[in-house]
Amino acid sequence: MPHDLISIIIPTLGRTTQLEALLASIVSSQYKHYEIIIIDQNRTLIVAEIVRKFNNVLPIEHIKVCFTGAARARNYGLQFANGQYLFFPDDDAELFPETMALAMEYLKSTGAEVLFGKCVDRTSADSVGIFSKKSGYLSLKQHETMFIEATMFIKKDIFSKFQFDESFGIGTFYGAEEAYDLVLRMLQKRIIIFYTPEVEIYHPQKVINHSEASERRRVFSYRCGFAHLCVKHKLYYKYFLRLLKVIFYIPYTMIAVPRKTRYYLSELLGLLTGVIVR
């Protein structure tokens, strides 16, 4: 087994062209010590043909499962991983040629057990959030804008002790914040976590159409996750700050931008439901 092998665990559901683009980007990686574990949550065999296209150029293990949930899929992939490090890109992400090589350099030079980078779009602007422009170690006081699960490189022995809380994340009632929960739990145990904006991964921007029902369902689910996180980790100030912002913003939308009102009402409902439903 190669030294410093990276196990790339990819949960996938409902995406084909994006998954194919991700695998093509891995082919071009400067870092060659890796294996790929695809956790296929599709009910059909739509991924099998894609895997066949890359079998001769990539070391892929294709695992078909009968459950859904991104956090559960990432945890499930652990049992098939042979690498000393794990990496969990989204199935609509893409790697740059230098992504994994830079990540390994930073892991070794910083002494970190976990490394986070940032997501960017085709114009190199931050995507899926706003990220810190400065590198640094995460702490319980300083970690905002310094992590996202799609960029996480983590030592296998560390991940095996913590794993994702499977009640969080896409495919669950609490549809977000699995990475935030994991980071807080690791920081509480003094795990060394480093962030650098130098390690980049492509991820498309999330374009929000406030009037679409799908976006209202998503913000409801995400805010249920946010509320659940705040209760679990006693982040009451963070919770009430967001709650008050939404409450005061809704009357403004009713007058100025009525098409957004139902979106923020959905967010408010998610914030309240995430606290009530256990």
| CATH architecture for the domain at 6-202 | Alpha-Beta Complex (3.90)
- Give me the helices (H) in the chain, please: 17-27, 48-54, 70-77, 99-110, 156-162, 178-188, 213-232, 236-256, 261-276
Parallel/antiparallel/unpaired status of strands 85-87 and 136-137: unpaired
Instruction: State the CB neighbour count (10 A cutoff) for residue 188.
Output: 10
Q: What is the pLDDT of residue 106?
A: 98
Q: What is the pLDDT of residue 7?
A: 98
- The arithmetic mean of pLDDT across residues 160-173, rounded, is 94
Contacting residues for 31 by C-beta, under 8 A, at least 6 apart: 6, 99, 100, 101, 104
- The arithmetic mean of pLDDT across residues 57-80, rounded, is 95
- pLDDT over threshold 70, residue 2: no
Locus of tokens 């030294």: 3
Q: How is residue 86 written in tokens?
A: 């794990």
The secondary structure of 8-65, three-state, reads: EEEEECCCCHHHHHHHHHHHCCCCCCEEEEEEECCCCCCCHHHHHHHCCCCCEEEEEC
Angle at 166 between CA 207 and CA 221, to 5 degrees: 35
- Which is more confidently placed, 194 or 46? 194
Report d(CA 256, CA 43) in Å as an integer: 44
The tens digit of pLDDT for each residue in 199-251 reads 999 999 886 778 788 899 999 999 999 999 999 999 999 999 999 999 999 99
Contacting residues for 41 by C-beta, under 8 A, at least 6 apart: 11, 12, 13, 65, 67, 68, 69, 73, 171
> Structural domain boundaries of the chain?
6-202, 213-276
- pLDDT over threshold 60, residue 138: yes
Q: Which residues make beta-bridge pairs with 87? A: 8, 153
- pLDDT over threshold 80, residue 77: yes
